[in-house]
Amino acid sequence: MEFQTKSFWHYFKQNRLAVAGLAIILVVFFIAGTASLIAPYDPGKTNVSKKLKSPSSEHLLGTDQLGRDVFSRMLYGSRISLSVGLVAVAISLVIGVFVGAIAGYYGRWADAVLMRFVDIMLCFPSFFLILTVVALLGPSMLNVMVVIGITSWMGTSRFVRAEFLSLRERDFVQAARALGMKDRRIILRHILPNSLAPVFVTATLDVATAVLVEAGLSFLGFGVQPPAPSWGNILTEGRTYIFDAWWLTVFPGLAILMTVLSFNLLGEGLRDALDPRLRGRR
């Protein structure tokens, strides 16, 4: 069950929407990485004399209520939105893979206890749970990352558990046990690498969800706090002027839409390319 790069790319590139999603994501990452180089203005610099100026050659995406350049704030905001998404997903993957691996490999009481805990976690509406915890801890970028991460690992744990339940009975695992290998080595070296395909798909989709959740929290005032720019709080600041300065809501809204859609398209493409049962449908 080895991951074949050439075979994967052969099937992946047939899905044009997934390739387009990957291209957009790469562009967004490039923008986030070079924001300080390509931003024409300081994102925090105010100039009240130029407040609420419409898009022009001087300010490509206009200015906000404090005269700050929206284009520059959007560029820097991409860093924060992507950072929150990636760090949150990294946290959820660590927890989800650990729980799923233990439950799937050992089974019995470990599986029963851990999966019942997963069921309990799934009973809570995730966004309201995140909102409640952030409200208690206080809004900050670090809190948002951690809270999203520790409340979104349940799906990953279920995927990993299912893969481990299947793989632990395979001949190569039985052979490793017969050779006297320890459980930790069997899990990390033999089973885990062969169970990561659905994790890649889940991680891609979870990044999109985390970006969307961060935008929602920032929109409600519980996410990244001003003056640090994120797409969510730029959108929040623009809602007061939605009829007078449409660019304050349209551009960050489009950025969130395109980024989330691109991650979802990439996730669908990865799923189709990694699952042999779905390859023939394209």
Check which CATH number belongs to the domain holding 194 and give it.
1.10.3720.10
Residue 227: inside a domain, yes or no?
yes
In a domain, 59, yes or no: no
Predicted local distance difference test score (pLDDT) of residue 279: 52
Can you say whether residue 224 is alpha, beta or left, with left for phi > 0 and alpha for psi between -120 and 50 degrees?
A: beta
Q: What is the pLDDT of residue 2?
A: 43
Angle at the Cα of 88 from the Cα atoms of 25 and 135, rounded to 5 degrees: 125
Could you give the angle at the alpha carbon of 218 between the alpha carbons of 213 and 221, nearest 5°? 130
Asked whether residue 111 is domain-assigned, the answer is: yes
Q: Which residue range forms the structural domain that includes residue 249?
A: 5-41+64-279
Instruction: Supply angle C-alpha 201, 203, 205, rounded to 5.
Output: 70
> What whole-number distance in Å separates Cα of residue 115 and Cα of residue 107?
10
> Taking a C-beta distance cutoff of 8 angstroms, is the pair 75, 189 a contact?
no
Q: Say if 53 falls within a structural domain.
A: no
List of residues 6+ apart from 40 with CB closer than 8 A: 60, 69, 71, 72
Does 118 reside within a domain? yes
Residue 24, domain member (yes or no): yes
pLDDT value of position 27: 93
Q: Which residues pair with 63 in a beta bridge?
A: 69
User: Does residue 94 lie within any of the structural domains?
Assistant: yes
Residue 243: inside a domain: yes
pLDDT of residue 170: 81
Taking 70 as the pLDDT cut, the residues of the chain under it are: 1-7, 275-282
What integer pLDDT is reported at residue 1 of this predicted model? 40
According to the model, what pLDDT value does residue 138 have? 77
Quick one: pLDDT at residue 126?
Answer: 77
Count how many domains the chain has: 1
